Amino acid sequence: MSLRHRLLAFAAFLATAAIVAAIVWRGLHEPADTNSFTLLADAFLNGRFDFKGCYDFECVRSGGKTYLIQPPFPAVLSMPLVAAFGLHVHFYIFYAAVLTVLTLLVWWLIFRRLGTEPATAGWLLVAIFASTPLAYSVVRSDGVWLFAHVVGFLMASLAVHEALAGRVVMAGLALGCAFLSRQMTLFMFPFVFAIALTVQARLLPPSRETVVKGLKMGLAFSLAVGFYLFYNWSRFGLPMETGHNILAAQAATSPDITPLVYRLRDIGVFSKDYVVFNFFYMFLQGFHAQFTGPTMLKLEGLDPFGASFLAASPFLLFLFFCPRDRTIWFGALAVLPVVLWLLFYHSNGFKQYNGIRYMLDFLPVLMVFLARAVRPELRPAFGLLVTWGVLLNLATIGVLAVTRG
């Protein structure tokens, strides 16, 4: 390794270490009563789906009871915290950090199964943790949105590992848990199924292996889908009602004046009116600091809607070098529906500040392809782009610490 490559690796290490230090600092100062999964976990421990009070914008009232519209699996993982420390627990950031360590361990095992060189695997792990929205999600996991992303990404990553290992039932169960954390991981099913198949398995006409593995994984995954439909029906009387329509109706009488309230009240959950805005923030918008004051030199903060996928995580450009095989099409089935969904969605990730946090819903797919795309001769350039993404995440955390406390 040349001196320049060593200096690059050292810079990435220092920036990543600084992000870890910021997570520790935030964890030590985490307030209680900020994550509504606490309330839902306590409700589960007492055999209920409803609870009293709420800590954020994600709760709705129906039939005189309060419910959380977020999918329930993160609350299941929160149950040990609530059982041990009570309703005023304030260890979500440290808990999310532990879950992220487990996620990185899973990815190390995935890269070993894919035959990735150790040096490349190291850069890929840095990319996953510190050059994507994952690190910022850990920092802000005292709230429901980003804690759900951390949990969903862990379970989706585990599904990829189990599929590569040929354990399709476990892959289906893990992907089901991911779906019960983040609904959009539903679209990962074709990809996870595809990588579970051996090279000899035929798709058309389907071979015996294809049919057997498809049935096993589908049945395991359907348990999660069935529970979610029952969960929605028991709360709102309709299997397909997640609570978002009720949330939109509540926004009409909300005293808040945030952009999301205006959107839900005046436009709705989905609309073509969001497409131009979402397109810019997903594909074109860059990292943007805002300055104010008479001389325009006072650092005010960051653009709360974040930066585009490629601007915040430029290493994704290396997907261009990915070898083409049949899994490419299944990967597209996992990514493109989510992107199209987000173009019409009311929230492109309000208050995410850097990388679009929804990228975590399909990042496992991209990382499998990147592990095959980053060849040894491309690794230095890949490391340079990863380091840039790490520095942007570090800058995001630093600016917010100064301007928001």
DSSP codes joined into one string, 187-232: GGHHHHHHHHS-TT--TTTTPHHHHHHHHHHHHHHHHHHHHHHHHH
Query: CA gyration radius for the chain?
Result: 21
Low-confidence ranges of the chain (pLDDT < 50): none
> b/e per residue, 210-237, with b = 16+ CB within 10 A?
beebbebbeebbeebeeebeebbeebbe
What is the pLDDT at residue 158?
98
Cβ neighbours of 49 (radius 10 Å): 15
Instruction: Report the relative pairing of strands 289-292 and 298-302 from DSSP bridges.
Output: antiparallel
3-state secondary structure of 362: coil
Read out DSSP for 33-101? S--THHHHHHHHHTT-S-BS--SSTTEEEETTEEEE-S-SHHHHHHHHHHHHH-TT---HHHHHHHHHH
What is the pLDDT at residue 1?
66
Using alpha carbons, select from 48, 54, 96, 55 the residue that is nearest to residue 72.
Answer: 48
Question: Token pair 């049945």 is at which residue?
Answer: 219
Question: Token pair 């990967």 is at which residue?
Answer: 331
Using alpha carbons, select from 383, 315, 397 the residue that is nearest to residue 18.
Answer: 397
Residues 364/192, Cβ–Cβ less than 8 Å: no
Tell me the sheet residues that pair with 66: 51, 61
Residues 6+ apart with CB under 8 A from 365: 188, 191, 331, 334, 335
Instruction: Report the relative pairing of strands 289-292 and 59-62 from DSSP bridges.
Output: unpaired
Using alpha carbons, select from 258, 339, 268 the residue that is nearest to residue 305.
Answer: 258
The two structure tokens encoding residue 356:
């679009």
How far is residue 203's CA from residue 175's CA, in Å, rounded to a whole number? 21
pLDDT in tens, 221-263: 999 999 999 999 999 999 999 988 888 777 767 666 677 778 8
Tell me the sheet residues that pair with 307: 355
